[in-house]
Amino acid sequence: MAEEWQPKILAIICNWCSYAGADLAGGARIQYPPDIRAIRVMCTGRVDPLFIMKAFQDGADGVLVSGCHFGDCHYLEGNFKAAKRMFLIKSVLKNIGLNDKRLRMTFVSASEGAKWAGVVTDVIKTVKELGPSPLKEFQK
């Protein structure tokens, strides 16, 4: 019997808010799919567009960038800078033939463990609907 395909999803998450929200979800034993691998950065403003492109090149089926809500960034404007970059990266993804729904930016605070679980569940559902990344064909 063939095993169901599971997407590879990379989450790049802010140390101060989204990582703490993910930790709260785990501590509260809120259930969500385990198909996500997280990298913690001090601020989403630190996320270079090349990080995202490299994730797709290396086989990620989806990328989630999650940080503080606007107005709550510990570095004042990091999340604004990241949001602008995500908008631009989505247009690049379209131009290279990747559905821009494979990249998502969300804002989850430290007190929103349930929201984190919902975001992860929704991202995984979206990527599963899209199927494996078409870039995987070129990795062989």
pLDDT band at 4 (very low <50, low <70, confident <90, very high): confident
- What's the CATH number where 55 sits? 3.40.50
pLDDT of residue 49: 97
- List helix spans (H) across the chain: 18-27, 49-57, 78-95, 113-130
pLDDT band at 139 (very low <50, low <70, confident <90, very high): low
Q: Is residue 59 part of a domain?
A: yes
Number of domains in the chain: 1
pLDDT of residue 34: 87
Residue type at position 10:
L
138 pLDDT exceeds 80? no
Q: Is residue 68 part of a domain?
A: yes
Mean pLDDT of all residues in 40-51: 97
Prediction pTM value: 0.94
Taking the C-alpha atoms of residue 13 and residue 108, their distance in angstroms, rounded to an integer, is 9
Q: Is residue 3 part of a domain?
A: no
pLDDT digits over 113-135, tens only? 999 999 999 999 999 999 999 98
Q: Is residue 55 part of a domain?
A: yes
39 φ/ψ angles, rounded to the nearest 5 degrees: -120, 125
pLDDT digits over 52-90, tens only? 999 999 999 999 999 999 999 999 999 999 999 999 999
Q: Is residue 2 part of a domain?
A: no
Q: How many other C-beta atoms can be found within 10 angstroms of the C-beta atom of residue 39? A: 12
Q: How many CA atoms lie within 13 A of 65 on its CB side?
A: 30
Longest dimension (CA), the chain: 52
Q: Is residue 48 part of a domain?
A: yes
Q: Is residue 25 part of a domain?
A: yes
Taking the C-alpha atoms of residue 115 and residue 128, their distance in angstroms, rounded to an integer, is 20
Residue for token pair 């949001």: 83
Domain span at 19: 9-138
Number of helices (H) and strands (E) in the chain: give both, helices first.
Answer: 4, 4
Order of strands, edge to edge, in the sheet holding 103-107? 36-41, 9-14, 62-67, 103-107
pLDDT-above-70 percentage for the chain: 96
pLDDT band at 3 (very low <50, low <70, confident <90, very high): confident
In angstroms, the Cα distances linking 43 to 13, 97, 118 are 8, 29, 21
Q: Is residue 69 part of a domain?
A: yes
